[in-house]
Amino acid sequence: MDIPTVLCGLLAAVAALPALDAYLRLRRLGRPLAPARGGEKPNRLLVLVPSRGEGTRVADLAADVRREATTAGAATTADLRVLLDGPDPEAAARLESEGVLYLSKNPPGPAKGHALAFLAQRLGSELDAFDFVLVFDADMRLPRGFFADLAISPGTEVFQLPVRPAGVPGSGAPRVEALSLAQAARDDLARDAEGLPVRLRGKAMGFSPRAFRFGPAAATRTTAEDSEATLLLFASGIRVRALEAPVAFDEPVSSTRAMSGSRARWLGGHLKLLFTGFVDLLKIAVKSPKGAFVLACDLWLRPRLFVLVALAFLAIGADIALLFFSSKGAWRVLFLLVLSLEAKLALVFEGLSVVALRRHIGTPPETPAVTLSDLFSSLAMWARAAGRALVVPSRWHRARPPA
């Protein structure tokens, strides 16, 4: 075979991955969910809130935790620890005025995994006194009745709670992010029901003390801390479960620039994780090839909007190439036909997945309809994030984000 034919064959093989992933997701989202499993209320919780330059809003979350701890009833008690990762005078002043316990880590960083490792080291054997360790980002809020609604099935060591925007998201990238959160929450439940891996989303997570040490407190190699912890846990034989309730609220960032900054760290971290986490992925594949495939697609076939745009260009390019190379060899024509079909099917499956999701959740205020303008805004935000990650890639990938 000549080089163009081999290239067409490779592209067809690569395009098969997102097509299969989109089909499997469509099947999961299209099925009705089984009734929620019964669970037990934990007796004692430790709530950890790592915060880096968040200012006074970390105290807002602390107030939510303290409020819920006093209203959860006698069955559940919750201790709160805030970690100020670096100097934050505004946060420290308000936490002190409200009597909230906090620790300080100086120098800060370089990433959240190091902050959680610091907490695990400082708390030491104190962790073992708790049933579960909950980890919240500083920009989150808790609804009333949060701890009262928390019920965990026996045998669970790690769980991911559903997250949705606090209030109505603005137009543009926040709307796309809201839809992504809704899809992730439902897909997590569907994956859990099928015994497939559930990825830690970085917000509103719970761990047994043992799992906390094996996962978040050990995820210090990249800036994709939560994805890294997911691989570490599954490779160690610890399963992440998805809970249907309670829902935690994610406060939107103040600007698109801030969104692109956090996603630049995400992109850089996942690029390094592709190499540092490969052995862990192989361990998972030995136990469950399908599970490893689903998890790998969730980790690295993202941002999905970029993947869909690339597939659209591949489909158009393959159709144009067929017009010029229809008489240049049977294999080349076959590969181009397969490439075009796979790319189009992936796009169709993704669209049907959104339709299936909307059929289940409707169009609530916190997940409004997404327009083409919103998609373009999100695409521009991700493009900016990719540009920022490429400017100083070594610092992003080594968990040392630029100042």
Of 359, 335, 376, nearest to 26 by C-alpha is 359
- What is the CATH code for 44-283? 3.90.550.10
Q: How far apart are the C-alpha atoms of 95 and 101, rounded to whole Å?
A: 7
pTM across the whole model = 0.90
Is a pLDDT exceeding 90 seen at residue 56? Answer: no
> Taking 60 as the threshold, does the pLDDT of residue 394 lie above it?
no
DSSP result, 188-235:
HHHHHHHT------SSSEEE-HHHHHHTGGG--SSS-HHHHHHHHHHH
| CB environment 41-72: b (16+ within 10 A), e (fewer) | bbeebbbbbbbbebeebbbbbbbbbbebbeeb
DSSP 52: S
pLDDT of residue 15: 92
Structure token pair of residue 239: 């399963």
- Contact at 8 Å (CB) between 116 and 209? no
Query: Which residues of 37-130 form beta strands (DSSP E)?
Result: 44-51, 77-85, 102-105
Rounded Cα gap, residues 328 and 311, in angstroms: 24
DSSP class of residue 368? P
Residues 6+ apart with CB under 8 A from 324: none
Mean pLDDT, range 361-387, rounded to an integer: 91
Strand extents, DSSP E, 87-176? 102-105, 132-135, 140-141, 158-160, 163-165
Query: What residues have CB less than 8 Å from 361, skipping those under 6 apart?
Result: 182, 186, 367
Eight-class DSSP state of 247: P
In whole numbers, what is the pLDDT of the chain averaged over residues?
Answer: 87
pLDDT at residue 206 tops 90? yes
With a cut of 60, say whether residue 154 has pLDDT above it. Answer: yes
What does the pLDDT average to over 174-192? Answer: 93
- Return the closest-CA partner of residue 113 out of 205, 189, 4, 176: 205
Amino acid at 132: F
**Among 67-81, 228-242, 352-366, the least confident range:** 67-81
Spatial distance between the Cα atoms of 46 and 185, rounded to a whole number of angstroms? 23
Cβ(156)–Cβ(242) below 8 Å: no
pLDDT tens per residue across span 312-337:
999 999 888 888 776 667 877 888 89
Which residues pair with residue 206 across a beta bridge?
134, 159
79 burial (CB, 10 Å; 0-12 / 13-18 / 19+) is middle
pLDDT bracket for residue 393 (50, 70, 90): low
pLDDT at 386 over 70: yes
Which position has the higher pLDDT, 88 or 204?
204
Residue 403: pLDDT band (50, 70, 90) is very low
Predicted pLDDT at 374: 92
Q: How confident is the model at residue 1 (pLDDT cuts 50, 70, 90)?
A: low
Domain ranges of the chain: 3-32+285-397, 44-283
305 versus 324: which is more confidently predicted? 305
- Structure confidence at residue 330 (pLDDT): 80
Spatial distance between the Cα atoms of 263 and 265, rounded to a whole number of angstroms? 5
Mean pLDDT over 106-120 rounds to 84
The Cα–Cα gap between 260 and 280 comes to: 28
| Chain centre to alpha carbon of residue 215 | 15
pLDDT at 391 over 80: no
- Inform me whether the pLDDT recorded for 147 exceeds 60: yes
